[in-house]
Structure 1
Amino acid sequence: MYVCLEELSRNIPGARQVLGRCLKWDPDDKALQAYIKLEQRYDKQDRASAIFERWVAVHPEPRVWVE
């Protein structure tokens, strides 16, 4: 919810910072998907790809590729 608030207030660097901190805690799939979608909304495909690669490296399961 905090990330949504940051994005609504147009503080995209703040939203990235919050999601980046979340990555250190081995987040669930929904958090990683939200981070990827945030980067895609702002045309940062390179960042989205890096997050997806990290997700696949941590959770090398078929369900990651399907989502």
Structure 2
Amino acid sequence: MLQNTFIRLMRDNTEFQSEEHEKACPIRTAANLCKDFFRNWWRKTVTIDRAKEVEVDGSIYNIR
């Protein structure tokens, strides 16, 4: 996350209105990247081969 935050801030090249805004920008950028990461974690694509093995309640079921 730190690296992605730094890269995004370097690409943006925004002029800040005040010192407080300059301090808040990296924090908000990092928070938004974390939100995006965890939001997308639930939407991962699973291949058909991987989907054949499904885990429910700690037990693995093989789907044929």
Same fold (TM over 0.5): no
Which structure has the highest helix share of the two?
Answer: 1
Larger radius of gyration: 2
Q: Which has the higher contact order (CA 8 A, sep 6+)?
A: 2
User: Normalization by structure 2: what TM-score?
Assistant: 0.31
Which structure has the highest strand share of the two?
Answer: 2
